Structure 1
């Protein structure tokens, strides 16, 4: 496994991040433990979750929220693991039905952090991420709440997720004025089929020194050899089937290119992200140990300039960074 600093911080994380969104909803506890064991054995030290993960349809609880954190907490409680991982979770989504059980008020941040610490069975969160921008709460309030958690030792670094470029700039400007470090990372939707963040989010991350952590790096399975799997009779959800038909010419060209270079489509998708200097670690979300192991090769796949050019032709981006992408 290779490692990289998380943005401008001194913290080093593995080039692949273990995403645990499926834990509790699609993956049971024993399999989740096996995946985390295998990830740790493979050198993955970056684990990502969220307070809301586990899903309302989880068989473990009627509500389902918090199950992913609980699985991780019980795994950590076995001992010998906590100081070997960088543990990231998130705050924002509704956890109860009350008016203050969501978003980024200082009230909710404090309560949500305490509940995440309890579920995770740990004394601190290494990276506490805002799951979405909250435009109804002023940054002075948000940063004050985060500063308290940092002083208390309950949070080490703060990150964002699904922020626009101007959200990052606004957040960092306010943090700098308060002599606070502010954001260490941004977690964004980014893959060959979804390149919008190249316009402004990536330039903002580069300017302010944020590590970029792409979620859905394989495009919800579209970049994982979906045509071959369909040909083998594996059924896909109706939404995915519609996407396949819409993107069929591009998918055919993509999978043909992957065959030509002798690499699996999922590895090519991950390797394309990893070659970007702005990217710290794509988030992989395996449902089984086998899926985890399949993703490990991606860190060693090197894509030639010719292959990169072909990928740009198949999956064109927005044309560069703003404003040069659309103005002289």
Structure 2
């Protein structure tokens, strides 16, 4: 396994992040345990979850599966850089969602209880809360850090200016602030290249791409169109042409489309670890091939032709202005 630092921190994490969203809804607890065992065998130490995974309001199904796994002991919890998130509704009462000080505090403590652990390595704000002032968010996070319940803070689904606002406020408070941003990023979704990636570079944040295969779009959909999440994807004529060219390019390389899609993300120096969401151990094992693929400049150019970046490419404003 390859490892890298998480943003500007000294924390070392695996170049692939184990996503657990399937644990419960798609993958049984027993199979989830097998995937987590295999992840540790492979050296994947970076695991991501969220308080709403399991998709039954307030039940924290995925976090509880992970908690039962950690409770077995054997150093399981100690080997993992554990990341979870808070923002979405976990109940019907007014303060059971978003990012008030109350929600952050209770959300963290409820996650700790569900996962049967004393601390979370990376506690992420799952979305920007435009109604909550940064002083309130950071006051809550600072308290959790002082209490030893949280080690690092991350964000998810933030815009570039949200990252800047958060970090400038944290700086005024002499607080470390954010160390990572988790964003939608793949060959077919490159909007973050405009503002988010430049902000991550400027502030020293690691980028953790979610949906690196575009919900199955980049995983060989023309070969197995009804498998897993691919079944819900509708291809129009333009998208079919793109995916046909994409899968032909991968075939010419002798590589699986999913592996090339991950390798493309890993070739970006700002990317810490794409989140992979295996439904079984075979899928997990298969993901490791991406770490070995080196994309040539010619291949990267071809990928830009198939999946053009936004505007002229690169950061804003140059991507759309002189």
TM, length-normalised to structure 1: 0.95
Deviations 1:6-25 (A, max 9, x none): 00000000000000011111
Is the Cα contact below 8 Å between 2:58 and 2:91 reproduced in 1?
Answer: no
Q: CA deviation at 1:238?
A: 6.0
- C-alpha distance in structure 1 between counterparts of 2:182 and 2:318, whole Å: 24
Deviations 1:20-40 (A, max 9, x none): 011111111000000001111
* Residue in 2 that maps onto 1:137: 132
Q: CA deviation at 1:229?
A: 1.0
* 2:44 counterpart of 1:68: no
Is the Cα contact below 8 Å between 1:54 and 1:64 reproduced in 2?
Answer: no
Is the Cα contact below 8 Å between 1:160 and 1:185 reproduced in 2?
Answer: yes
Q: CA deviation at 1:243?
A: 3.4
Deviations 1:281-310 (A, max 9, x none): 000001111111111111111111111110
- C-alpha distance in structure 2 between counterparts of 1:164 and 1:296, whole Å: 30
* 2:268 counterpart of 1:273: no
Is the Cα contact below 8 Å between 1:223 and 1:269 reproduced in 2?
Answer: yes
2:242 aligned counterpart, secondary structure: helix
Aligned residue pair count: 319
What residue ranges of structure 1 are gaps of 5+ in the alignment?
A: 57-62
Q: CA deviation at 1:235?
A: 7.9
Is the Cα contact below 8 Å between 2:100 and 2:136 reproduced in 1?
Answer: yes
* Residue in 2 that maps onto 1:78: 72
- C-alpha distance in structure 2 between counterparts of 1:134 and 1:161, whole Å: 11
- C-alpha distance in structure 2 between counterparts of 1:170 and 1:196, whole Å: 19
1:226 aligned counterpart, secondary structure: coil
Q: How does 1:161-180 map to 2 (within 5 A)?
A: 161-180=156-175
- C-alpha distance in structure 1 between counterparts of 2:204 and 2:219, whole Å: 31
1:284 aligned to which of 272, 276, 297 = 276
Q: CA deviation at 1:65?
A: 3.5
What is the root-mean-square deviation in Å for CA atoms of aligned residues? Answer: 1.3
Q: How does 1:68-107 map to 2 (within 5 A)?
A: 68-79=62-73, 80-107=75-102
TM, length-normalised to structure 2: 0.97
* 2:23 counterpart of 1:23: yes
What residue ranges of structure 2 are gaps of 5+ in the alignment?
A: none
